Chain A
């Protein structure tokens, strides 16, 4: 039956995440100003608190693990930084999706970053130049190339590297390699200087004649590897909306303090332009969050969402841009101060429509699907 009410269990776990988000806010502004310092694996407060993401995974009587997980992530991003740092990267998702049982066994406790983007290949991974050549003499792969903008670059134990290959028979193709930290020839660059999400660990990676054993060759086909994004895209939407909601909540509070009420009863001729603008931003938030829930709900029905995952990512990414920009404008000059929470929301909120497939890429996916076009027909 169609229903949008959270269960008592949902609310309990979401509230817990929200409380932790409040604690985390303090740290968020510290790491925003100290971008070269990595946040600890666990903040002191986190020691005595359960990780709401784990609770979401195992809760009974919830709206379902995928839905609840995304709503918890939403709260965490509202706080600006995770009190419990995630142990997993998207590389782990790739490992779990396509690796052999032996490979999974070996690296299941590693934090694995995902390394796709290169200077000449962002939205279009087909342009990847990083290449692994098979060395018959040692039965090893020799990897050369540069990866940029890699999340969890410093804090991870290994990277799942998307690469071209030239095998022993001279055959060519695309594949992935798991490269562990400390492998000679693998270096991690300094932290990148970003507009926002400065507490996030983001660096470039360099592979120079980096020798990798055959066992580290993760041989999923490219298509199934990319399915991990079906899960992560709506999640990015949920994160984007976490930041957006923090901005909306702050803005609402400030407007009310300044005597501007948001009244949902009247029509457009009953409210001020400011209240009207706020209401529209709030509607944009609701709209996007529901597309996230829709995609997550489909996942729970074992209907792998595809176009819905892209809808959620596109809607969340765009909403975060509109809402954070709009809130700063609504509150006026006073909102520009750097010590305001809006400052961070404004900067953090801009990433979600860029990474993990920019908004344009999501629209390509949606358009191809509704038009029944191939990637050749529409690119």
Chain B
């Protein structure tokens, strides 16, 4: 039954996330970008929301829709912060939905602790021709397990990662392998800052003939549906891009009302006012598309089409919105004193990724 109704619990969680975003996260966003790291105190706050841990709980407590709602709120404060939550969510939700019983039992409880920790869904590869349909990292069967080789990246927050979920080509299809960070042959590269999402300390991770045991293939003998992981990631990215778009919109509305040019408020010029209206239209549309993809995932349906459409749409619209956001501030928008240039960089970076996150 078509409904946009949030449950009481969802509404509460949303308010809480919005509060945290406003009071604590947003004020920390610029510094995190400049200093190329999210301060531990902020990671602690994100962890304290319980959003990550709830993925590890019983089936009933995991909700892709709620995750999408919360990721949007966090992303209003900063896309890096949202990804700091969405990365372990991506990993845990993949384990919870695709893992074998043994894998769930072994891994999920590891994320019930009190301090921030992460694990990364490693799909993207540092290659200009990269596409999820053309992954080069490969796994081969050995007598006791598998041997993995390839390079992944950018991978966020590697120093907090206990595991990587490595998506690799295996016997003509894509499969995912749970690799411990300390496994022999896992080489974490130098941190390499990107245009945006600079606080995420991204690095490449090389898997140099890493030997792993038979039990680490996600879903074990049954294998897994890598497309599900991709769909979940696209849905999370769509939520995050909705959040970035909202941040821009909520920033430029008061700004353009106050800024006077040629005798009138900027916002009173139609060319500006109409773009603001379009920002609202597109931000709404992005959110509903995200929710729809998430709702399908939550019900266990095939969300591939919906997630693709939501992500494709959000990429285009979010980029348009951040671009117009910079333009509306003119020279002030180009300076690092205002956040729009950061959102401009973040949006382009988010929209280039696959994997990494999840709902």
Binding site for B on A (CB under 8 A): 1-7, 10, 62-64, 67, 264-270, 279-280, 282-284, 286-288, 290-291, 293-294, 297-298, 301, 307-308, 311, 314-315, 360, 362-364, 366-367, 370-371, 373, 377-378
A63, B131: Cβ atoms closer than 8 Å: no
Which residue in B65, B129, B268, B305 is a CB contact (below 8 Å) of A264? B305
Those of B260-288 within 8 Å (CB) of chain A: 267-268, 270, 273-274, 276-278, 280-282, 284-286, 288
- B260 shortest CB reach to chain A, Å: 13
- B202 shortest CB reach to chain A, Å: 19
Q: How far is the CA of A36 from the CA of B237 in the complex (A)?
A: 52
> Interface on chain B toward A: helix, strand, loop, or mixed SS?
helix
Can you name 15 A-B residue pairings with CB atoms under 8 Å?
Answer: A1-B3, A3-B1, A5-B1, A6-B1, A264-B307, A264-B308, A269-B131, A283-B312, A287-B286, A291-B281, A293-B288, A311-B281, A315-B285, A363-B278, A378-B268
A297, B3: Cβ atoms closer than 8 Å: yes
Residue B43, interface by CB 8 Å: no
Q: How many residues of B contact A (CB 8 A)?
A: 54
A63, B1: Cβ atoms closer than 8 Å: yes
Q: How far is the CA of A84 from the CA of B14 in the complex (A)?
A: 45
Q: How far is the CA of A342 from the CA of B294 in the complex (A)?
A: 33
- B76 shortest CB reach to chain A, Å: 16
- A327 shortest CB reach to chain B, Å: 16
Given contacts A371-B273, A378-B267, 4 further A-B contacts (CB under 8 A): A269-B134, A283-B312, A297-B4, A373-B273
Binding site for A on B (CB under 8 A): 1-7, 10, 65, 129-134, 227, 230, 249, 253, 256-257, 267-268, 270, 273-274, 276-278, 280-282, 284-286, 288-289, 291-292, 294-296, 299, 304-310, 312-313, 316, 354
Q: Known: A63-B2, A366-B277, A371-B267. Contact between A266 and B133, CB under 8 A?
A: yes
A371, B1: Cβ atoms closer than 8 Å: no
B277, A280: Cβ atoms closer than 8 Å: no
- B327 shortest CB reach to chain A, Å: 17
A265, B132: Cβ atoms closer than 8 Å: yes
Q: Known: A265-B133, A286-B309. Contact between A364 and B273, CB under 8 A?
A: yes
A2, B4: Cβ atoms closer than 8 Å: yes
B288, A283: Cβ atoms closer than 8 Å: no
A2, B289: Cβ atoms closer than 8 Å: no
B273, A363: Cβ atoms closer than 8 Å: yes
- A77 shortest CB reach to chain B, Å: 19
* B308 cross-chain contacts in A, Cβ below 8 A: 264-265, 279
Q: Known: A266-B131, A280-B312. Contact between A5 and B280, CB under 8 A?
A: no
Q: How far is the CA of A201 from the CA of B249 in the complex (A)?
A: 42
Q: Known: A3-B1, A4-B292, A269-B134. Contact between A287 and B277, CB under 8 A?
A: no
Which residue in A62, A270, A290 is a CB contact (below 8 Å) of B134? A270
* A371 cross-chain contacts in B, Cβ below 8 A: 253, 256-257, 267, 273, 276
7 cross-chain pairs, A with B, having the tightest CB-CB distances, nearest first: A290-B288, A287-B285, A266-B133, A367-B273, A366-B277, A363-B277, A63-B2
Q: How far is the CA of A67 from the CA of B175 in the complex (A)?
A: 41
Which residue in B2, B6, B306 is a CB contact (below 8 Å) of A293? B2
Q: How far is the CA of A367 from the CA of B285 in the complex (A)?
A: 16
- A111 shortest CB reach to chain B, Å: 30
* B133 cross-chain contacts in A, Cβ below 8 A: 265-267, 270
Q: Known: A3-B295, A315-B285, A378-B270. Contact between A367 and B276, CB under 8 A?
A: yes
- A301 shortest CB reach to chain B, Å: 8
A269, B129: Cβ atoms closer than 8 Å: yes
Residue of B nearest to A314 (CB): B281
Q: How far is the CA of A131 from the CA of B190 in the complex (A)?
A: 78
